[in-house]
Structure 1
Amino acid sequence: MGPDETDLVAAEELKAKANSAFKEKDYTAALVEYTKAIQLAPTSAIYYANRAFTHIRLESCGSAVADATRAIELDPKYVKGYYRRADANFALGKFKLAYKDFRLAAKFAPHDPDLRKKLAETERVVKRLRFEEAIASEEERPAAETLDLASLAVEGSYAGPQMTGSEKDGYEISLTFVEAMMEHFREQQILHRRFACQILLTARGHLKALPSLVDIPLEDSQHFTVCGDVHGQFYDLLNIFKLNGLPSESNPYLFNGDFVDRGSFSVEIILTLLAFKCLYPQHVHLARGNHESKHMNQVYGFEGEVKHKYNGTVMDIFRELFCWLPLAHVINKRVIVVHGGLFARDGVTLDDIRKIDRNRQPPDDGLMCELLWSDPQPTKGRSPNKRGVGVAFGPDVTRAFLELNKLDLLVRSHEAKPDGYEVEHNGDCVTVFSAPNYCDQMGNKGAFIRFKGADMIPEFTTFAAVSHPDVKAMAYASSMFGSSLLGV
């Protein structure tokens, strides 16, 4: 028995409230109202497609695919159902699936200009993928090993920061240089490609020598800071350093992945962090996030930004360097820090993580994927992750993992939180996120954690976003995310 007229009227009112919340970028509220509308009128394809779009905005692309699929089941000719599923799959880097759905949508709406634009963009990406697959060779040397630094002459007209040394004898990275570079970046100036590549190659050497799980010892008197996602928000990174001091041998840091994408100063962020890694290799630690990957960089802006500020060769070196970022860190044998979360199976040990061959693009499943993509859930057990990648894991999973590996705490990042951090799973799991007002629109605070070696109890500092130049988030991202409209 279907909904009566009263339910249908109420559902439309809820949809209108949801649409209004969506337009105000209050996606959490929109999600609640669309869900209420679906409960009253569960056969409306429009409600499912609109909720799918809301899931995309909340980065829950797995849930978006499920809702869009349900919309298509309810109305196989409903264009927005295919459209939303394609958007979600594109965001996940599943370009061939996205292309298939955009082609189906185009059959029903052949003159829709936005749809035609997205179809053409996706077709270009798929053709590029096929070309790359066709020419791929295991024998191909990494770009970092073929780059001739001596060929990157520093022109006399270059007025930016310079490393000590010379082109003939080589350059060295000093604290004076790094501080001048940060000020140069603050003024929206580009570092010379010669010095950028020097940072990349030097940092690559340090990262390549590390295991997939890095153990970090602390003396009782030492402190240690963990930051979460910074996502190209360079001016907020400067604020972290203002609040907590620059990285140094006496002020060590771990940045827990997702340095790049979305924010439009990702080049400045990653070069700064890599430069500090070169200065203090034992005291500055960098973990891989799910956005330190080829597909994410193609979609969410980093590749476009690097090619705008430098060129494709520099992007190739970044891509290779990301594959050497460690996947996990254990601080003082008590706290494990990973970007995403835990695993789809029980019994995973620290040695299992150490054995992961990380020098690759992240796979779609398995331990490496789950470390980068998984999320905690409040209920026990495991569930499919709302992102469509990794797994959702409950408090019992966290407790079992910590007990097996004789650890006290899991720290992870990967999710924006209103206060910049959240303590879950009966205190066993902490999320820290360091990009305030994420994407210039979420209104959240940022946070970082400070531990003392003597007790390893997390101490949280929260902070608000600071102003930045008028370059919007996602300025270099794929054009796919520029003009989608609700199927109202």
Structure 2
Amino acid sequence: MADDVQVVPEMKTAVSEKNKEKAERFKNDGNEAFKNGHYSDAVTMYTNAIEWDPSVAVYYGNRSFAYLREELYGAALEDATTAIKLDPKYIKGYYRRAASLMALGKLKQALKDFETVTKRVPSDKDAKLKLNECQKLYKQKQFEWAIRSDDKSTSVFDTVDPTTIVVEDSYTGPRLIDGKVTEDFMQQLIPHFKDQKPLHRKYALEILLQIRDYFKAAPSMVEIPVPEKSKFSVCGDIHGQYYDLCNIFDLNGLPSTENPYLFNGDFVDRGSFSIECIFTLFGFKLLYPNHFFLARGNHETDNMNSIYGFRGEVKAKYSDQMYDVFTEVFNLLPLSHLINKKVLVMHGGLFSKPDVTIEDIRHIDRNRQPPDSGLMCEILWSDPQDQLGLKASKRGVAFEFGPDVTENFCKLNNIDYVIRSHEVKPEGYEVSHNGRCITVFSAPNYCDTIGNLGALIIFTGGDLTPKFVTFKAVPHPNVAAMSYASSMFRMLGG
């Protein structure tokens, strides 16, 4: 991604009073939808307002805010920039642009916009607070970058030794026997977590050490053979919603050699029970390594974890050092899975280049934080679109790809269809691109506010036709989503 903010041409359009009135009505409808948390509807209303009167900065600023809430940071940035171009005195435009830039990791540019606000409105205490927070975050990231080592031969695990950690007599939770995850351990772990009790640090580190070693030896693309009459289940985003994860197991059965699963990324962030989710998933992976599969999502990355809660949750429940351990493990998660050589599963989507093959995916160097472009970025971030071809994503990262792109990819690689996650859907799933692209999202009532269903996909090895199971959210303890989010996230609503 280019670091330069897009410059939008000046708009000089004569607008009739009748059109202005229509635009205002749409804006008011958009404000009502936004207030009720219906951000997609708000975007539609603000878009209608802009179509009737494209000269009003507030319409773009409001749509930018709605895009921010939908995490479409590229579109939010573009609208905020347009608003500022239309009205350089529109202070909220600078707020919106700063928030968009921060979400895209461009803290230095965000600082400039906060500085602009504080200079123009010196009495704005909120602007000063956000400027100070942004400065702290920028300095923190600069420091982390300065001390970061590219030497993959060194490991944070070198600084921890679970064998030296003493388990107190007061600990009543599940214990690893001889360091091994067993069926009995998992049967104890799930209710232990449901009771909001922590897994002891010793066992947490032992699990992370074992899962690190396992994924270190795994390829970037894992092939999964499913026998002809065997059932196989694919789940999408979980996002720290532990009690909904447990509900999946209640509805569809616990993982076992006869009941295999693939969880397709975004295990953590947003929901406030990410620790419980990730240790449950890692535990089942160690218990059933050939029948339980995990793929990396765009939220198994440091940038996302630092904003959307996982880093804060790990720090609150364990330590900063434990977070560094998780970061190293997440870097090793596979990026995709190929089921019976006919169904490709990855978190985000397809690619901007028309000639990407399964072999190319197999050879992606994944042991790192994702770059801003290229195959690794796109497989984690891309989304399907209804239109033909490609266009830059509204997220500000990767691309949106059309049905022709999917068709070409499937034919080139001789596969039936692709499964991806990454996007909340009202019914928990969506079939698009003439059945060649399926989205599955398994976090119902996302962030305790969206009201969507969750879904999972079931098929058998002999019949890869997907069957969908949908489910509602279940109650959880009174800990709100985003409880562990960073100050940066709170600034995104500025």
Structures share a fold, TM > 0.5?
Answer: yes
Q: Quote the offset at 1:72 in angstroms.
A: 1.0
Residue 472 (structure 1) aligned with residue 480 (structure 2): yes
Q: How many residues align?
A: 481
Task: List aligned pairs for 1:159-198, cutoff 5 A.
Answer: 159-165=172-178, 171-198=179-206
Question: Which 4+ residue blocks in structure 1 deviate beyond 6 angstroms?
Answer: 483-486
Offset of residue 100 of structure 1 = 2.6
Match among 324, 329, 353 for residue 332 of structure 2: 324
| Counterpart Cα distance in 1 of 2:276 and 2:490 | 24
CA distances 1:20-71 after superposition (whole Å, capped 9, x unpaired): 1101001121111111111122111111011001011112111101100101
SS in 1 for 2:85: helix
TM-score of the pair, normalised by structure 1: 0.96
Other-structure match for 1:17: 29
Letter in 1 for 2:285: K
Per the alignment, in what secondary structure is the counterpart of residue 410 of structure 1?
Answer: strand
Deviation of 1:482 after TM superposition, in Å, equals: 3.5
2:470 counterpart SS class: strand
* 1:392 CA displacement: 0.5
- 1:463 corresponds to: 471
1:438 is matched with 446
Query: How does the TM-score come out when normalised to structure 2?
Result: 0.95
The aligned runs of 1:269-308 (5 Å cut-off) are 269-308=277-316
The residue aligned with 2:159 is 146
CA contact 2:61–2:92 (8 Å) conserved in 1: yes
Matches within 5 A, 1:55-204: 55-139=67-151, 141-165=154-178, 171-204=179-212
Is contact 2:403-2:433 (8 Å) kept?
A: yes
| Aligned residue number for residue 28 of structure 1 | 40
1: CA distance, partners of 2:104 / 2:493: 20
Q: Distance in 2 between matches of 1:147 and 1:406?
A: 46
Contact 2:430–2:438 (Cα < 8 Å) also in 1? yes
1:483: Cα distance to partner? 7.0
Aligned partner of 1:243 in structure 2 is 251
For 1:148 and 1:445, how far apart are their aligned partners in 2? 42
Native 8 Å contact 2:94 2:116 kept in 1: yes
Shift of 1:130: 1.2
Q: Contact (CA 8 Å) 1:93, 1:296: kept in 2 or not?
A: no
User: Using the alignment, how far apart are the partners of 2:294 and 2:107 within structure 1?
Assistant: 29
* 8 Å Cα contact 2:445/2:472 also seen in 1: yes
Q: 1:412 — aligned with what?
A: 420
User: Is 1:228–1:433's contact at 8 Å kept on the other side of the alignment?
Assistant: yes
Matching residue of 1:369: 377
Task: Give, in whole Å, the separation in 2 of the partners of 1:220 and 1:30.
Answer: 47
Please give the secondary structure, in 1, of the residue aligned with 2:414: coil
Contact between 1:288 and 1:322, CA under 8 Å: does it hold in 2?
Answer: yes
The match for 1:335 is 343
Name which of structure 1's ranges 453-462 and 10-19 shifts more when overlaid on structure 2: 10-19
1:280 aligned partner, one-letter code: Y
Which blocks of at least 5 consecutive residues in structure 1 are unaligned?
Answer: 166-170
More divergent stretch after superposition (38-47 vs 355-364): 38-47
Q: CA deviation at 1:96?
A: 2.6
For the residues of structure 2 that align with 1:217 and 1:51, how far apart are their CA atoms? 46
Letter in 2 for 1:424: S
Counterpart pick for 2:365 among 322, 336, 357: 357
Residue 484 of structure 1 and its aligned partner are, at CA, apart by: 6.8
The 8 Å contact of residues 230 and 461 in structure 2, kept in 1 or not, is answered as yes
Higher mean C-alpha displacement, 14-23 vs 346-355: 14-23
After superposition, the CA RMSD in angstroms is 1.4
Partner deviation per Cα, 1:180-237 (whole Å, 9 max, x = no partner): 1111110111111111111111111111111000000111011110000000000000
TM superposition shift of 1:12: 1.9
Report the CA distance between 1:99 and its aligned residue: 2.4
Q: Amino acid of the residue matched to residue 111 of structure 1?
A: S
Check the 8 A contact 1:92/1:296 in 2, yes or no: no
Contact 2:68 2:493 in 1 (8 A): no
CA contact under 8 A between 2:99 and 2:492: conserved in structure 1? no
Contact between 1:114 and 1:483, CA under 8 Å: does it hold in 2?
no
- The aligned residue for residue 20 of structure 2 is 8
| Contact 1:93 1:299 survives alignment (8 Å) | no
CA distance in 2, matches of 1:283, 1:258: 19
SS at match of 2:62: helix
